[in-house]
Amino acid sequence: MDIIVEGIRQAFILLFTFDPEVLGITWFSLKVSGTATFISLFLGMSVGTVVALTQFPGRRLVVTLINTGMGLPPVVVGLFVTIFLWRNGPFGILEILYTPTAMIIAQAIIATPIVMGISLAAIQHLPRKLRLQILALGATRLQMTMILIREARLPLLAAVMAGFGGVISEVGASIMVGGNIKGYTRVLTTATVMETSRGNFDIAIALSIILLLFAYLINLVLTTIQQRERPR
């Protein structure tokens, strides 16, 4: 019990004294996961919207694959990114394994299906007749797509949040392709794993509190979005 109480006390001291190491890891985590989310936003939203708005043979299969991708295990992604970036792997020549770039790639691969799946559902969930209404207002296909995206902006924001939430909290891929190098590829989750294994519970708890705070903020936004109603 003492361990926990002392750990929490120390954790708050670290947080409120703006411990440079904790701050640095937090900032770096945000940078890596933010960049990865941004990339997944482009890929996920564009493909998700196209799949939502078009009919083609094999569409069901594509939707199933995207939905499966939403639950992609980070360690599997980590494994494959590692293999591809390995010195004598297909992209070994780039020499980016154990760099932040490798982490961003792995996290983007994890986040993209999440963003894609939620975008797809969000656009598909708009009333079917809304498309006809927009066309009847004289919109071109591009204008219609832009209006639909604007209409689905809240669920799309949810997609972004879910994608970000997924990657900031994953540890498997980051540790495999980043290597948890101090001051270079160490993020909140990998640092927590390491500090815990070393018995440094104070730092581990401080890092966990920051992670929990992110989780809370993300869910706060998601819940607010879910509770809103569509106009008639």
Partner 1 sequence: MTTILEARNLKVIRGGSLLVDVPDLAIFEGETLSLIGPNGAGKTTLLQALSFLTKPSGGEILFRGQAVGTNHRALEYRRRLAMVFQEPLLFDTTVFENVASGPKIRRLGAEAIRKAVAEQLNRFGISHLRDRSARTLSGGEAQRTSLARAFAIQPEILFLDEPFASLDPPTREAIIVDLGKAIAETGTTTAIATHDRNEALRLSDRIAMMDGGRIVQIGSPSDVMNRPVDELVAAFVGIETILHGLVREKQEGSILVDVDGSEIEVAGDLEAGTSVILCIRPENVTLSLSPPASPTSVRNVFPGRIRRITPLGLVVKVEIACGFPLVAYVTGNAAEDLNLREGNEVTAQFKATSIHLCQKKSACKT
Q: Which is nearer to partner 1, 60 or 87 (CB)?
A: 60
Q: Does 231 bind partner 1 (CB under 8 A)?
A: yes
How many chain residues bind partner 1 (CB under 8 A)?
Answer: 22
Looking at beta carbons, which pairs linking 185-193 to residues 24 or more positions away fall under 8 Å? Answer: 185/98, 185/99, 185/100, 185/103, 186/25, 186/28, 187/25, 187/28, 187/29, 187/32, 187/33, 187/103, 188/25, 188/26, 188/29, 189/29, 191/25
Residues in the chain: 232
What is residue 92's DSSP assignment?
G
What is residue 21's DSSP assignment?
H
- Residue from 17, 64, 68, 143 touching partner 1 (CB under 8 A): that is 143
- Cα dihedral sign for 92, 93, 94, 100? positive
- Residue from 87, 150, 183, 199 touching partner 1 (CB under 8 A): that is 150
From the list 18-26, 105-113, 187-195, 223-231, the region that binds partner 1 by CB under 8 A is 223-231
From the list 34-42, 92-100, 146-154, 172-180, the region that binds partner 1 by CB under 8 A is 146-154
Q: Does 227 bind partner 1 (CB under 8 A)?
A: no
- Smallest gap from Cβ 143 to partner 1, in A, equals 6
- Residue from 54, 56, 60, 129 touching partner 1 (CB under 8 A): that is 129
Q: Does 147 bind partner 1 (CB under 8 A)?
A: yes
